[in-house]
């Protein structure tokens, strides 16, 4: 089942906060992307690159284990990790081990630890809280607040760049689209492109977020796609690697 999660809280140290409008999209087959734009970027660095973080991957880059009792572990080896791409100092490299715990409220608590100073050095624990919302709705509609089982039959479509010079992934779950395109070996914000779109009742996809010089190379309409087919956008080839409608 595809999922759309809105982050409610991020905590390192004693004081939680949430400065971003983060949505994580998870496709039916487990491909994922998390776009974390600041709501109010502060200072010149955040204004130039108004994202706390973006990561994405296919289902091959995450190991999911259901431990029962509403607890799941997810071990990520991100395909795109903007901290790695931009070589941001004092940020984690390599696998990230996380634990996800269902709360009675329907929210999901994620905890884990990262090693920003290297794998042999001290770890930094973090906590995030996630609100599942209904991906088939135009609004951010909270699901399962009273313990009801939520099942989505929202569409789930995933496109992946096939050109050698780029990495890129677009995930459509229900009405919500998130995607990235990064130029290999660029290593600066100039090489990064992100989109977030919302399908309105009219069937039109409205852009909610658009970042990057090559953002027009990311597919932004999704008609007549089928599994295995390739679409070419501004000269760039994207393969449909998942297509459930």
Q: Residue 75 and residue 64: Cα distance in Å, rounded? A: 7
201 sits near a second copy (criterion: CB under 8 A): no
Residue for token pair 């699901």: 143
Name the nearest CA neighbour of 32 among 94, 90, 75, 93. 75
136 sits near a second copy (criterion: CB under 8 A): no
Q: Residue 121 and residue 219: Cα distance in Å, rounded? A: 41
Q: Residue 26 and residue 58: Cα distance in Å, rounded? A: 10
20 sits near a second copy (criterion: CB under 8 A): yes
- In the shown chain, the binding pattern of residues 41 to 80 toward a second copy, with x for contact by CB under 8 A and - for none, equals ----------------------------------------
What is the helix (H) or strand (E) element at residue 84, kind and residue range? helix 82-85
- Smallest separation, CB 227 to a second copy (Å): 32
Nearer to a second copy, 68 or 235 (CB): 68
- Smallest separation, CB 116 to a second copy (Å): 22
Q: Which residues contact 119 (CB under 8 A, 6 or more apart)?
A: 93, 94
213 sits near a second copy (criterion: CB under 8 A): no
25 sits near a second copy (criterion: CB under 8 A): no
Provide the token pair at 241. Answer: 């690697």
Q: Of the listed pieces 13-21, 53-61, 92-100, 153-161, which binds a second copy according to CB under 8 A?
A: 13-21
User: Coil, strand, or helix at residue 114?
Assistant: strand
Site residues for a second copy per CB under 8 A: 6-9, 16-21, 38-40, 103-105, 107, 109, 127, 129, 131, 133, 137, 139-142, 145-147, 208
């Amino acid at each position: 089942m595809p999922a759309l999660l809105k982050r409610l809280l991020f905590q390192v140290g004693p004081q939680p906060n949430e400065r971003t409008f983060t949505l994580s999209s998870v496709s039916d087959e487990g491909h994922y992307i998390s776009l974390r734009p600041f709501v109010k970027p502060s200072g010149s660095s955040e204004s130039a690159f108004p994202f706390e973080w973006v990561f994405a991957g296919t289902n091959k880059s995450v190991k999911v284990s259901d431990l029962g009792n509403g607890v799941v572990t997810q071990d990520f080896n991100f395909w795109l990790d903007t901290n790695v791409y931009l070589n941001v100092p004092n940020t984690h490299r390599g696998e990230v081990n996380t634990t996800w715990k269902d709360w009675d409220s329907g929210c999901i608590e994620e905890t884990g630890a990262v090693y920003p100073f290297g794998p042999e050095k001290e770890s930094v624990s973090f906590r995030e809280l996630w609100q599942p919302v209904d991906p088939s709705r135009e609004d951010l509609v909270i699901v399962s607040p009273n313990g009801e089982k939520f099942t989505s039959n929202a569409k789930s479509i995933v496109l992946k760049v096939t050109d050698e010079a780029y990495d890129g992934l677009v995930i459509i779950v229900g009405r919500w689209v998130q995607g990235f395109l990064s130029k290999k070996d660029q290593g600066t914000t100039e090489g990064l492109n992100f989109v977030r779109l919302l399908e309105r009742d009219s069937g039109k996809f409205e852009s909610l977020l658009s970042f990057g010089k090559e953002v027009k190379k990311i597919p932004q309409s999704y008609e007549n796609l089928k599994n295995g087919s390739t679409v070419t956008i501004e000269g760039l080839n994207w393969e449909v690697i998942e297509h459930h409608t």
